[in-house]
Structure 1
Amino acid sequence: MQKVWIYLENGTFLEANSFGATGTSVGEIVFNTSLTGYQEIITDPSYAGQFVTFTMPEIGNVGVNEEDMESKTAYCKGVLVRNYHHEHSNFRAQGDLDALLKEHNVLGICNIDTRYLTKMLRDEGAMMMIASTEVSSKEELAKKLSESPRIEDINYIKEVSTKEPYVHKFGAWNHEELAYNKAMMSDKKVVVVDFGVKRNILNELVQSGLEVEVIPSTFKAEDLIARFEAKEIGGIFLSNGPGDPLTLREEKEEVQKLIDANIPMFAICLGHQMLSIAHGFDTYKLKFGQHGGNHPVANPDNVVEITAQNHNYNVPDNIIEIAEITHQNLFDNTIEGVKYKNKEIFSVQHHPEASPGPHESKYIFDEFAKIVK
């Protein structure tokens, strides 16, 4: 293992060991409290521009495999772990995490006190950092970090969104492409606006009985409105994605047009935030965000669901002027889901596709499918 040097914008300077890719990377550091699923986290496009600190101390022990990829590549800047295990043991493993990170040019940092980092981020909030296997000087790292753009100044949607439309035909537990009867599916088709969509979200939409077409984030609302009026599609899904939603000004204008057209819509995470902004209610940044697989959320029946979450931004409390709160986070009472008044539009902040258990949120996909059909 090579040495790697880390500098945080609060002045903290650390030395550790590296695995995965080499080089120098700048991004925002956050922490994730999930006990499992490190490959899904690393390949989630919503982590573009971020370093992920795992509070789970043992990472790499179950290897990696193709089925657990949430996207075609890994968009995060790097991962920080207490102990990295190159030797893995799992019947599903097809390779090791080190090779995956090298393939997708992601820095791996290990033999570092992740408890110390997590407590720092909890107390001081998410912050920018730089890590390098090439530069060991604290002063030089500080200079490079000060000269680099902040995560909120970068539109990572352009990087993670698909460039061409495509149809997704895989269900949650079916790794074979599903054959559609076009005559039967004409009223069951939805368009997914890809801000950085996770593959498992697409799987769950298909599993609920919908035909799923994915389009780039550079969509034009007029095209979708025309297709809806022609009964070619029955609804629109706005996906998760990375970065500050307030930077997506052009996308906001297009979403506003979709809202005015009264098209049924469902959204998760960034899409949830985009709906709020398009309705005139700007999001705000949380101190250190919510990243993990153990967040309790109260649903409309006042049943507690254990949810997976990954977001740094949240919709404001005054959104109750135009929407009913359907889900609420029991850690900090932030809003987790809303249903807009007099519209077939609803959204959630957490990730119902992620299956953290024991009481889960996948029913939300079925609710959307009923509206579309």
Structure 2
Amino acid sequence: MKRRPAILVLEDGRTFRGESYGAVGETFGEAVFNTGMTGYQETLTDPSYHRQVVVQTAPHIGNTGVNTEDDESDRIWVAGYVVRDPARIGSNWRATGELEQRLADEGVVGICGVDTRALTRHLRERGAMRVGISSVTTDAEELLERVRSAPAMVGADLSAEVTTDRPYVVQAEGEQRYVIAALDLGIKRNVPRRLAARGVTTHVLPASSTIEELLATGADAIFFSPGPGDPATAEHPVALAREVLRRRVPLFGICFGSQILGRALGFGTYKLGYGHRGINQPVLDRTTGKVEVTSHNHGFAVQVPGAGADGAVVPNQVIDTEFGGVEVSHVCLNDNVVEGLRALDVPAFTVQYHPEAAAGPRDADYLFDRFVELIEGARSRGADDSGEQHA
């Protein structure tokens, strides 16, 4: 594929020059970096990257081509793509095509041949910021003007742009044990797959769904999915989560879903300096005391009361909320960011990271077992309550 000169300009004026990669054109978004050494196809097709320009810190990208099995949605969602050294030819027995050709086919503008290490260090020091990539102009000042007029991620309400148009069902593998309703705020395909492996049928519904529509599926529990955007704008999902809590229906949320539950419980959210994105993030599970290597993709986090100046959460602290006591169940060991919440008086818990991996380690896969246990516990309590009423 013939390459053209390309330019990348950050909103603070820092400029990188390279060559076009993927589609020729111009694009704008929030510049973020991903530290994964593998899994670029899952990254590109993750809806949580909507309106973000992803910088890969691993220098060699495209080595294994692309295939029809590893996508986490039905399209590439990133606004742009930045790599240092793209593979000339992908080589893998599962490959069905080349990465650069797919980027071009889907109109994804990228740039290669830039110093991604220097770019990543800049973002770590200055924070995630708006960026533009162009292979139709090399005038940095001209592009900078358009970068600074592009919308910021703070205040962005994006779940409606990535959610499913209509409900669909992912059937349980083998005998069906439970049914859940998943609110699609940007769900990845591996979530219902991991649930299906545990005998759970998942009904995936649009982000605009009501509590009545969720429960009409016959759901034993509700799931709030990952997704893009600023959780401070997600008024409908927050109101929906509060209704789920009031009805004491078991609830599990991942990533954006964790931030939604945090807001529903009365906590605030805030934007991280440069976010957590990669498949090598250490998280402490306070329940077991184990440290997990986990997959992350979030630029916002939950702010709980009582956290120290460095963000450190008080050990064993129980926070009083409208729905009873809540504790921080997981913490990132890099920066003390809250990575999970557990309600003590209603059946609800969340994690900020990705137990479904795709791509990434499977240390946190047990959280789907915890979800099933939460459903089983709620069903047992319901049966006990019914028995007491009939006694």
TM-score by structure 2 length? Answer: 0.87
**Residue 313 in structure 1 maps to residue 300 in structure 2:** yes
Matched-pair identity in %: 38
Q: What CA deviation, in whole Å up to 9, does each residue of 1:153-199 have, x standing for no partner?
A: 432211110010000137xxxxxxx5x76xxx4x6100010000011
| 1:61-100 matched pairs, under 5 angstroms | 61-100=63-102
State the 1:251 CA deviation. 2.3
- Equivalences, count: 357
Q: What CA deviation, in whole Å up to 9, does each residue of 1:311-344 have, x standing for no partner?
A: 0111113285141222111111211111112011
* 2:188 alignment counterpart: 198
Which residue of the other structure, out of 359, 367, 371, is the alignment partner of 1:368?
Answer: 371
| 1:319-338 matched pairs, under 5 angstroms | 320-321=318-319, 322-338=325-341
CA distance in 2, matches of 1:281, 1:21: 42
* C-alpha contact (below 8 Å) 2:280/2:295 kept by paired residues: yes
* 2:385 alignment counterpart: none
* 1:289 alignment counterpart: 275
Matched residue type, 2:300: Y
**Residue 114 in structure 1 maps to residue 101 in structure 2:** no
Partner of 1:347: helix, strand, or coil? strand
CA distance in 1, matches of 2:92, 2:361: 23
**Residue 272 in structure 1 maps to residue 262 in structure 2:** no
State the 1:27 CA deviation. 0.2
CA distance in 1, matches of 2:151, 2:290: 42
CA distance in 1, matches of 2:144, 2:213: 47
| 1:153-302 matched pairs, under 5 angstroms | 153-169=155-171, 178=173, 185=176, 188-225=178-215, 227=216, 232-299=218-285, 300-302=287-289
Q: Which ranges of structure 1 fall in alignment gaps of 5 or more residues?
A: 171-177
* 2:105 alignment counterpart: 103
CA distance in 2, matches of 1:159, 1:102: 22
CA distance in 2, matches of 1:358, 1:50: 23
* 1:141 alignment counterpart: 143
Partner of 1:251: helix, strand, or coil? helix
* 1:5 alignment counterpart: 7
CA distance in 2, matches of 1:208, 1:307: 21
CA distance in 1, matches of 2:362, 2:153: 34
* 1:174 alignment counterpart: none
Matched residue type, 1:196: G
State the 1:356 CA deviation. 6.8
CA distance in 2, matches of 1:199, 1:234: 20
Matched residue type, 2:297: N
Q: What CA deviation, in whole Å up to 9, does each residue of 1:223-258 have, x standing for no partner?
A: 335x38xxx210000000001111112222222212
Q: What CA deviation, in whole Å up to 9, does each residue of 1:59-100 have, x standing for no partner?
A: 001111111101000111111111001301111111110122
Task: Say if 1:357 and 1:155 are closer, same or farther in 2 by CA, change over 3 A.
Answer: closer
Partner of 1:99: helix, strand, or coil? helix
- Once the two structures are overlaid, the 10-residue window that deviates more, 22-31 or 161-170, is 161-170
The structure 1 segments of at least 4 consecutive aligned residues displaced by more than 4 Å after TM superposition are 355-359
CA distance in 2, matches of 1:169, 1:20: 36
* C-alpha contact (below 8 Å) 1:306/1:356 kept by paired residues: no
Partner of 2:88: helix, strand, or coil? coil
State the 1:129 CA deviation. 0.5
CA distance in 2, matches of 1:220, 1:297: 33
Matched residue type, 2:110: G
Matched residue type, 2:260: M
* C-alpha contact (below 8 Å) 1:307/1:356 kept by paired residues: no
Partner of 1:17: helix, strand, or coil? strand
Which residue of the other structure, out of 37, 40, 60, is the alignment partner of 1:38?
Answer: 40
CA distance in 2, matches of 1:359, 1:72: 23
Larger Rg: 2
TM-score by structure 1 length? Answer: 0.92
Partner of 1:287: helix, strand, or coil? strand
* C-alpha contact (below 8 Å) 2:190/2:358 kept by paired residues: no
* 1:19 alignment counterpart: 21
